[in-house]
Amino acid sequence: MTVQTMFPGKDAELETVAPGLSRRVGAYNDNLMVVEVHFEAGVTAPLHHHIHEQITYVMSGKFEFTVGDETYVVVAGDSLYKQPNIEHGATCLEAGMLLDVFTPHRADFL
């Protein structure tokens, strides 16, 4: 079993994924993972899909999310559910941070 039981916190380095987009993997095991995702305003996470269930909690900022055929504008305190294999993506309208929870864990993020 793969396990990281301690979230590394704010002192751990962010991994740059693309210009203006970075992430930090937190605690996880084979079945569950939490990931902090930081966006600069104007950055888009293109439409994509994966086998994982995902819940996104907006920690700060403002985002426009597309999930399947629906589009939502979300702010701090809002959350979104994404079922496995549903196409989804987001554009950051105001710089912010998301907290993503995946099941099972994203091996491609490790």
Asked whether residue 36 is domain-assigned, the answer is yes
- pLDDT band of residue 58 (cuts 50, 70, 90) is very high
Residue 3 lies in a domain: no
Q: Is 21 exposed, middle or buried (0-12, 13-18, 19+ CB in 10 A)?
A: middle
CATH number of the domain within which 95 lies: 2.60.120.10
Q: For 19-47, how does the pLDDT look when each residue is reduced to its tens digit (9 = 90+)?
A: 999 999 988 889 999 999 999 999 999 99
pLDDT attached to residue 28: 87
When divided into structural domains, the chain yields a total of 1
**Strand spans (E) along the chain:** 15-18, 21-29, 32-39, 44-48, 53-67, 70-75, 79-82, 88-103
pLDDT tens string 59-103:
999 999 999 999 999 999 999 999 999 999 999 999 999 999 999
- Percent over 70 (pLDDT), the chain: 93
Q: In terms of residue numbers, what domain contains 51?
A: 17-109
